[in-house]
Amino acid sequence: MQKITPFLWFDSQAEEAVKFYTSVFKDSKILSTTRYGEAGPGPKGSVMSMAFQLEGQEFIALNGGPEFTFSPAISFFVNCETQEEVD
């Protein structure tokens, strides 16, 4: 399992972006898609997040909505197996 995963934040365009990225790179695939439920905050059934792989590198795309404005920040998702590892 990849230890650090780049996390890409979108308003509502994660699915379109992931489909574009995976169409550009030959060795790519969508790994999973999570959709919003009744509780939201996005519309029920819309994409919440997508995990995908480009040339062996895994990424996560999130539809975070308009609540947070765009910034030049970058996020990484770190896979940890135990609380001790997190600490």
- pLDDT tens track of the chain, all 87 residues? 678 888 888 888 999 999 999 999 989 999 999 999 998 788 899 999 999 999 999 999 998 877 666 666 677 778 888 899 888
Q: What is the pLDDT of residue 23?
A: 96
Residue with tokens 């995990």: 51
Is 50:60 a contact under the CB 8 Å cutoff? yes
Following DSSP, what letter does each residue of 40-52 receive, concatenated? Answer: -SSPTTSEEEEEE
Q: Where are the domains of the chain?
A: 4-66
CA 40 to CA 19: how far, in whole Å?
Answer: 23
pLDDT value at residue 76: 79
Query: Tokens representing 61?
Result: 């795309």
> Are 52 and 21 contacting, i.e. CB atoms less than 8 angstroms apart?
yes
Q: What kind of architecture, by CATH, is found in domain 4-66?
A: 2-Layer Sandwich (3.30)
Instruction: Tokens for 5, please give them.
Output: 């995963």
